[in-house]
Amino acid sequence: MSKVGMRAGLLRERGFRLYWTAQSVSLVGDEINILAIPLAAVLLLDAGATEMGWLTAAALLPSLLLSIPGGAWADRQTNRRRAMIVADLGRFAAIASVPLAYAWGSLTLAHLFLTEFVVGALTVLFRVCNHHVYASVVTADRYVDGNALLTGSRSVSAVAGPSTGGVLVQALSAPFALLMDAVTYLVSAVCLGRIRAQEAPPAPRGEGGLTDGLQWVTANRTPGLLLAGVSMLSLCHTFLMTLFVLYGATELGLTPGAIGAVFAVFGLGGLAGAYAAPRVVRHIGIGPAIATGFLWFSLPLLLVPLAGGPAAVVITALAAAHLCAGCGVAILDISTNSYLIAVIPETLRSRVMGVVQTANFGVRPVGAVLAGTLGTALGLRPTLWIGTVGAVLSVLWVAASGLPRVRELPENAAHEANASPGADCEGDSPSSASARRRVVG
């Protein structure tokens, strides 16, 4: 059976189909949220640069503050899917409160700050439980294909979400556009509620400490160095995310429409990467695919600080950079998520994923502040050079980890790592060859 056919086969399985639908629908809502809440702040409440900075921080701070304790809590639960449903219902209520407050004439910036923080906190809860539910509806030999389908949905939402959000904001106003976002969380909750799958048991009594996930990461060299690379890559890429609109509008003289089109191209690249990732993993192996994803994501972004000249040349260069980077980040996400799900012990999964969320998302508020500070002190283009070069160099952590030599996911790696928490879990020694399985769909 072809790889496309095998992925389609996953969608015919009821449990995964419901899980995938829940994820896909809420991703579109997330994109509407990203556009509508800032527009509500700017257009209705006259928010300035300082207020917008605090609004962004309010959404990101929960990832920094709550991911590790949230993971420790989730590992002690018997039904993480129920926690994800509660998170969806909470996000529905928080988002729906914005148009209600606007209709009553009582919408304030403080309300938007609180909404963003609450939604961010509930999103952390959703994420730290998510990998348990994913592993309950997808068999280990299909992790890559399942992640490819999810990344494809994320890429489609990145293309369709901003344009849909823009139309809704223009037609309904920013607060009422958020009603569509709120409804997506309800749909997600309903789909998750219909899943019938057995999750991994909770952590044994007496376990589940806050630091257990961090201890596992530091004790296992390969995933630990991988997460160091992810953290550096995320931190450096935040420089680009923070300054790109200002850089494009001021130094490059691009119109808002041109900047929006460049962002949309990133989503198209993600679609291509989601299609290609299982093939890449199958041909070169899981570890080389991760290293390839790091470089394929970061190297094209060097075109951003290099951009200059006529508008057509600038737009072409930026579009090419984002198209290739979108493809690379999809390969990186799919291969990295599949590797981590395979090697993290079941009873530690949420605690370790809390560390992963902190490494990936928790560094972004720091990156945003650093980008603003350096951009003011050094200028936009030099700061973008620092961010893009740093992103490229993050692959050195992966090279040091030994992952490029790991071609196959270890069989029952999670259980082996649980039995020997201080041992490396990548399974790349000759003595562990018989304990591996090929990464096929």
Q: Which residue has the higher pLDDT, 12 or 401?
A: 401
Highest mean pLDDT among 61-75, 148-162, 303-317, 414-428: 303-317
pTM of the model: 0.69
| Nearest residue to 73 via CA among 338, 341, 353, 337 | 353
Q: What is the pLDDT of residue 55?
A: 77
Q: Give the tokens for residue 90.
A: 């909470």
Q: What is the pLDDT of residue 268?
A: 85
Mean pLDDT in residue range 124-141: 83
For residue 246, is pLDDT > 50?
Answer: yes
Strands (E) in 7-124, as ranges, are none
Please give the mean pLDDT across all residues of the chain: 80
Please list, in sequence order, all residues whose beta carbon lies within 8 angstroms of the beta carbon of residue 120, skipping any fewer than 6 positions away. 58, 59, 60, 61, 62, 63
Mean pLDDT in residue range 85-89: 94
Cβ–Cβ < 8 Å for 112, 98 = yes
Q: What is the pLDDT of residue 239?
A: 86
Per-residue CA distances from 229 to 199, 209, 237, 390 (Å): 30, 25, 12, 10
* Domains detected in the chain: 3-437 (1.20.1250.20)
Q: Which residue has the higher pLDDT, 330 or 257?
A: 330
Q: What is the pLDDT of residue 135?
A: 79
Where does residue 206 fall: left (phi above 0), alpha (psi -120 to 50 degrees), or beta otherwise? left
- Span of 101-115, 261-275, 392-406 with lowest mean pLDDT: 261-275
- 150-176 pLDDT, tens per residue? 877 777 776 666 556 666 666 676 677
DSSP annotation of 437: E
- 211-231 pLDDT, tens per residue? 778 888 888 899 999 999 999
Q: What percent of the chain has pLDDT over 70?
A: 83
What is the biggest distance separating any 2 CA atoms in the chain, rounded to whole angstroms?
68
Where does residue 412 fall: left (phi above 0), alpha (psi -120 to 50 degrees), or beta otherwise? left
Residue 31 — pLDDT band, cuts 50, 70, 90? confident
Placement of tokens 């530091």 in the chain: 218
For residue 432, is pLDDT > 60?
Answer: no
- 329-369 pLDDT, tens per residue? 999 998 998 888 888 887 787 788 888 888 888 888 788 77
